[in-house]
């Protein structure tokens, strides 16, 4: 499964910034949730086009991504003195950064659900809680899977530029969703197709997982800071240590 994900992102790395451009206002909202002068970990950083916004005002940022082609582009296009980019898988970060503490841990772009099991997601969140400084925060953004599952909203918006067309859809597969994509290069006519398993994480399940690792959560429904509703396209969780819950699996 890891190989399928790697192949998918290697294929789209040349088109990534055109498909998923960073929005300065959206990133300003995320940056506003981070402590000033933070040390941050950006998980699933891609080409670094969002990491550079997170690094403004930060002391140090570690940007990590599974795909080496993405990291190569990040180093080439979005290098900054206070950013280090590394090719790492998200399920081993607890060991990689053992003994370190981050003021902010950011996981955007629907990255979390690429861990296709609740057990894998729970273990990842436990690692993040263990790497978090006492007064730090975790920010996670995924799609609103309550909306997708409850309304059978399996078609995603087509992304199109003068040179490429990217169609996306989900197909139910037991407790998973298959993420089906077709990327057409209009110049050459070539079409890249992929089929990636994702775990459709509902907000209630995410809340319970976060509480299980000692993190309380507040939700937004957009990068403009709107309240989360059943109609929200995305789910953004802003998480901090919750002294009212008993953490499990922390690495303190």
Pairing of β 102-107 and β 132-143: parallel
pLDDT in tens, 58-97: 999 999 999 999 999 999 999 999 999 999 999 899 999 9
35 C-beta neighbours (distance < 10 Å), count: 16
Q: 187 is written with which tokens?
A: 């110049």
| pLDDT surpassing 60 at residue 21 | yes
User: 128: helix, coil or strand?
Assistant: helix
Q: 78 is written with which tokens?
A: 């979005």
| Residues 81, 61 contacting (CB under 8 angstroms) | no
Instruction: Tell me the HSE value of 221 on the side-chain side, using a 13 A CA sphere.
Output: 10
Domain residue spans of the chain = 2-143+202-241, 148-197
What residues form DSSP beta bridges with 168? 181
Q: Please, what CATH class does the domain formed by 2-143+202-241 belong to? A: alpha beta
What does the pLDDT read at residue 244?
A: 60
Give the integer Cα–Cα distance in Å for 40 and 55: 8
Among 92, 51, 88, 48, smallest CA distance to 66 is for: 88
Range with the lowest mean pLDDT among 2-6, 70-74, 80-84, 203-207?
2-6
Q: What percent of the chain has pLDDT over 90?
A: 85
Rounded to an integer, the average pLDDT of 48-55 is: 96
| Residues 125, 118 contacting (CB under 8 angstroms) | no
What residues form DSSP beta bridges with 179? 170, 196
Question: How many Å separate Cα 60 from the centre of its chain?
Answer: 19
pLDDT in tens, 208-238: 999 999 999 999 999 999 999 999 999 999 9
Q: 232 is written with which tokens?
A: 């929200």
Q: For residue 249, what pLDDT band results from cuts at 50, 70 and 90?
A: very low
pLDDT in tens, 93-127: 999 999 999 999 999 999 999 998 999 999 999 99
| Residues 48, 77 contacting (CB under 8 angstroms) | yes
Q: For residue 8, what pLDDT band results from cuts at 50, 70 and 90?
A: low
Chain mean pLDDT for the chain: 91
């Amino acid at each position: 499964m890891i190989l399928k994900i790697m192949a998918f992102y290697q294929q789209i790395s040349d088109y990534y910034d055109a498909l998923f451009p960073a929005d300065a206002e959206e990133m300003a909202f995320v940056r506003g949730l981070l402590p000033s002068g933070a040390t941050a970990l950006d998980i699933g950083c891609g080409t670094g086009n969002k990491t550079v916004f997170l690094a403004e005002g930060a002391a140090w940022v570690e940007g990590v991504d599974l795909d080496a082609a993405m990291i190569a582009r990040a180093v080439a296009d979005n290098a900054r003195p206070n950013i280090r980019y590394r090719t790492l898988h998200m399920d081993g970060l607890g060991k990689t950064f053992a003994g370190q503490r981050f003021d902010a841990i950011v996981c955007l772009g629907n990255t979390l659900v690429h861990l296709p099991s609740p057990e894998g997601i729970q273990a990842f969140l436990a690692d993040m809680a263990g790497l978090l400084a006492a007064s730090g925060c975790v920010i996670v953004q995924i799609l609103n899977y309550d909306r997708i599952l409850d309304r059978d909203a399996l078609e995603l918006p087509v992304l199109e530029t003068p040179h490429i067309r990217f169609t996306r859809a989900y197909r139910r597969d037991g407790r998973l969703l298959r993420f089906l994509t077709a990327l057409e290069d209009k110049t050459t006519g070539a079409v890249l197709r992929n089929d990636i398993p994702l775990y459709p994480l509902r907000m209630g399940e995410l809340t319970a997982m976060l509480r299980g690792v000692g993190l309380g959560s507040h939700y937004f429904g957009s990068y403009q800071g709107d309240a989360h509703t059943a109609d929200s396209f995305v789910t953004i969780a802003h998480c901090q240590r919750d002294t009212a819950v008993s953490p499990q699996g922390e690495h303190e």
